[in-house]
Amino acid sequence: MQHGKYRFIVGFLVAPLALYAVFVIWPFIQSIYYSFTDWTGLSPDFKMVGFANYERMFQDDVFWKSLQHSVMLVLLLPLVTLGLALFFAFMLNVGGRRRKGTAITGVRGSGFYKIAYFFPQVLSIAIVAILFRFAFNPNDGVINGTLKAVGLGSIQPDWLGDPNFALWCVMAVLVWSTVGFFVVLFSAGMASIPKDFYEAALLDGASRFTTFFKITLPLLWDTVQSGWIYMGILALGAEAFASVQIMTVGPGGPDYSTTVLPLYVYLSAFRDANAAYATTIGVALLVVTLLFAAVVMRLGRRERLEF
Amino acid sequence: MGSTSAQNNGEGFGRRDLIKRSAALGLVAVPTMSFLSACASSDSGSGNKAKKGKTSAKNPLGVNETAPLAVTIFDGGFGTKYATDANAQYKKAFPKAKIQFHATQKIQSELQPKFNGGTPPDLIDNSGAEQMDMGVLVGKKQLTDLTPLLDSASFDDPSKKVRDTLRPGIVEMGQFDGDPVWIMYYAYTVYGVWYSQKALDGLDAQYPENWDDMLALCAKAKKKGIAGWTYAGKYPYYLPFSLYPFIAKIGGREVLDKIDNLEPGAWQDPAVKSAFEAYYELYKKGYILKGTPGIDHIQSQTAWAKGKALFIPNGSWVENESASVIPKDFGLSVGAPSGLDSSDKMPFGTIWASGGEPFIVPAKANNAEGGMEQLRIMLSEESSKNFTSSVKSLTAFNGGTDGIELTPGLKSGVAALEKAGDNVVNPRLQDWYVKLQKEQIGVSVLGEMMAGRLTPAEAIKKAQGYADAAAKDSSIKHYKHQ
């Protein structure tokens, strides 16, 4: 069987690798190439301009602002979303009061909550963003309406119209729309953790807090890590772009307070007809993404628990 | 988790492989880069152009009677019926020609590859959110000069050139640098301060002609719990619709021209300062509807239509766009911007009006004459009336409103144009420098000032900074008023 093993493996890999090379690697090389040209995107003639686009990018305040916001999203969004999702999943599966006959159980009504949390996942991000446009309306929106109803009529922020709140509003929407998916994912992970572990811990008098950090989290680590990468992609990519593009002032405002890298790529390419500069920002985005992946892989190295 | 580690004996997939694969997924998902390249530039195909036909009185442009005509129309607020009606007319004139009609909202995604490949259609309504950048199309010589169309006999009256049947500003708008006319704007938009006559009657007021009256009226409205103004807070580049003609009225047309030409110090003109200060006063005195910086154009128009605010800077499309919320007895009217005082350089009535729905004929079109002929048909009185009565908008054809019933907004628009006479201004910032006008001046200067986060002095400084940067930016094509 050893004989011809590699040929056998290569035989299987040729087709997918070729597809990957043509549809992923090649476009990357092409866009890096275009970042050294002055291609407008509207006509087939262009010339090489060396590092001009990169020089321009490094002096571009809007680029730095977009980078700053994108980095902020990629750091904060996974943290908040996964933290919340872990908390909810734990409460739904393990965190309930002890009842007769079972050692561990979720909070009352956990079946309903699971569906409720998952619900936003069914809606596309564009629909979610449009719904929140209405919710954030300072005059007739749900949020200010609720504030008024509970007697906080004096606090009526402009939300998306206020540079201090706008980016937080976008983040809140992204958390709201993604947390449910991870609740379900983590619930599934928790279901595969043997119940005896919890029973043993509870017999020893461990609190819920301790069981979470000593049992649930370590055994769930693989899932959390995949979630981390997934969330990072979302924060750097399409979801962040769509919510900013649809919801914010301008979009990207007020006064560049919500602009993110993918939005800047889009505007440069399709509004300013400067596709070369857009690919340059795209290259910067690639670097950020690779850095993120590297960091997550490094931080993720942990001892594996066998069970 | 049992699932991954269970397979972890021997050569199975471990956690590290999973992560590696996830990272690979990350590569796939790096947005936009790969799809940008999908529309990679290719060699331009050699177009096999249709031979020119014979010119005659009925066919002044010399259209090849058998050449097919490809038309792509933006399917937006104006629909497509006006275009298919015009196609039918073309077909009547040239029965042997085959017409390929295509309507889309994705102008850029669909047509960009065709431009890159050298096979664009013969006539395009380059409009909507996916409008292709005109400056680039012109700069890269992708368009046909429409001068032959303008100099040909008009459809209705052979003794008149098409050029002489158009509304003011249309031809100039189609020019970028020098004489060639690259774009034929078909719709005609009146910008200004839109209000409800009924609301003003309720306050026993006339439309204010100067700023003191404006402030007095706002104060009166405020007492009744009505805000003076609202605007599209999320898209503050609606504010210039009344602010720019206001600047022109105070300091004369030259001030706007200087701004358009990106001249140094153009924004520091005293007229700009007075206008900014006047608008800022609306904010300071609390005459702007609360929450305005956080609402979009539809939400602001709805609040205004419900009577929460008296005035809104907007264009004549508001009548169609907000038709469902504007009450029947609203008395929709447009006012030219109120002036500052009697020392203003231009008379009351000075208004901003300009073309919309830009039609272009690509340079590489197979049947460019056909594309122009189609435009000539559309600029006839009959086609113009058809357009106006079905979509409630004026056209570039000067006239075409007699004998059809006009809606209140349209009627007041026509009246405003009559009152303005020659005092129609046409600031070009929004078609020459989109980014400067919308994102920089609109959002980051005017939006911030009207939300009270910048003083007029700071706003002017910022605007001048943006204009200077745009003037220096070599990746932008620069234009000048002729």
Q: Does A186 touch chain B (CB under 8 A)?
A: no
Alpha-carbon distance of A194 to A199, in angstroms, equals 9
Contact between A82 and A174 under an 8 Å Cβ cutoff? The reply is no
B2, B295, B434: residue with CB nearest A138:
B295
Structure-token pair, residue B86? 């015009």
Averaged over B219-229, what is the pLDDT?
92
User: Residues of A74-91 as b/e, b for ≥16 C-beta within 10 angstroms?
Assistant: bebbbebbbebbbebbbb
**Cβ-based contacts under 8 A for chains A and B:** 231
Contact A285 B31 (CB under 8 A): yes
CATH no. for B69-189+355-414: 3.40.190.10
Domains of chain B, by residue range, sit at: 69-189+355-414, 191-353+427-472
Strand duo B394-395 + B184-196: pairing: antiparallel
| CB hemisphere CA count around B99 (13 angstroms) | 24
Contact A159 B40 (CB under 8 A): no
The one-letter amino acid at B41: S
Q: Taking CB atoms and an 8 Å limit, are A23 and B34 in contact across chains?
A: yes
Structure tokens at B297: 């154009």
CA distance A247 to A249: 7
What is residue A304's predicted lDDT score, i.e. its pLDDT? 59
pLDDT at A104: 67
Q: Name the nearest CA neighbour of B62 among B313, B369, B451.
A: B369
**DSSP run (H or E) holding B201:** helix B197-202
Confidence of residue B42 (pLDDT cuts 50, 70, 90): very low
- Which pLDDT value is given to residue B39? 41
**Tokens at B270, concatenated:** 């005293």
| pLDDT higher than 70, residue B34 | no
| CATH class, B191-353+427-472 region | alpha beta
> How remote is the C-alpha of A22 from its chain's centroid?
27
Chain A CB contacts of B112 under 8 Å are 41-42
Is residue A108's pLDDT more than 80?
A: no
- Quote the CA–CA distance of B384 and B453 in Å, as a whole number: 45
Nearest CA in chain A to B113: A42
Distance from CA of A101 to the nearest CA of B (A): 25
Sign of the CA dihedral with B239 first, then B241, B246, and B252 last: positive
Measured in degrees and rounded to the nearest 5, phi and psi for residue B175 equal -95, 145
Mean pLDDT across B171-184: 87
Q: What is the pLDDT of residue B115?
A: 86
Look up tokens 């529309």; give the residue. B39
What mean pLDDT do residues A266-270 have? 88
Radius of gyration for chain A, computed over Cα atoms and rounded to the nearest angstrom:
24
Please tell me what DSSP assigns to residue B163: G
Measure the CA–CA gap between B377 and A244, rounded to whole angstroms: 43
Nearest by CB to A289, which of B4, B30, B295? B30
What band does B14 get if pLDDT is binned at 50, 70 and 90? very low
B50 or A119, higher pLDDT? A119
pLDDT of residue B191: 93
DSSP H or E stretch at residue B360: strand B351-360
Domains parsed from chain A with CATH numbers: 56-299 (1.10.3720.10)
Distance between CA atoms of B415 and B470, rounded to whole angstroms? Answer: 37
Beta carbons of A230 and B22 less than 8 Å apart: yes
pTM of the prediction? Answer: 0.81
**Does the pLDDT at position B200 exceed 50?**
yes
DSSP H or E segment with residue B74: strand B69-74
Give the DSSP letter of residue B336.
P
Q: Quick one: pLDDT at residue B40? A: 43
| pLDDT (tens digit per residue) in B71-122 | 999 987 788 889 999 999 999 988 888 999 999 888 888 888 888 888 899 9
Structural element, H or E, at residue B310? strand B309-315
**B31 has a pLDDT exceeding 50:** no
C-alpha dihedral sign at A43, A48, A51, A55: negative
Query: Are domains B69-189+355-414 and B191-353+427-472 of this chain identical in fold?
Result: yes
Q: Which of A29, A38, A42 to mutate to test the interface with B (most CBs of B within 10 A)?
A: A42
Average pLDDT estimate for A266-289 = 90
Q: What does the alpha-carbon distance between residue A254 and residue B293 come to, in Å, rounded to a whole number? A: 9
Of A27, A39, A40, which is closest to B33 when you measure between CB atoms?
Answer: A27
A110 touches chain B (CB under 8 A): no
Tell me what pLDDT residue B4 has.
38
Q: Cβ separation of B140 and A45 shorter than 8 Å?
A: yes
Alpha-carbon separation of residue B448 from B288, B460, B463 (angstroms): 14, 12, 11
Map tokens 């009924």 to a residue.
Answer: B198
Look at A30 and B40 and tell me if their CB atoms are within 8 Å: yes
Residue B340: is its pLDDT beyond 50? yes
The interface predicted TM-score of the complex, written ipTM, equals 0.82
Q: What is the 3-state secondary structure (H, E, C) of chain A?
A: CCCCHHHHHHHHHHHHHHHHHHHHHHHHHHHHHHCCECCCCCCCCCCECCCHHHHHHHCCHHHHHHHHHHHHHHHHHHHHHHHHHHHHHHHHHCECCCCCCCCCECCCCHHHHHHHHHHHHHCCHHHHHHHHHHHCCCCCCHHHHHHHHCCCCCCCCCHHHCCCCHHHHHHHHHHHHHHHHHHHHHHHHHHCCCHHHHHHHHHCCCCHHHHHHHHHHHHHHHHHHHHHHHHHHHHHCHHHHHHHHHHCCCCCCCCCCCCCHHHHHHHHHHHCCCHHHHHHHHHHHHHHHHHHHHHHHHHCCCCCCCC
Relative to beta strand B332-335, strand B184-196 is: antiparallel
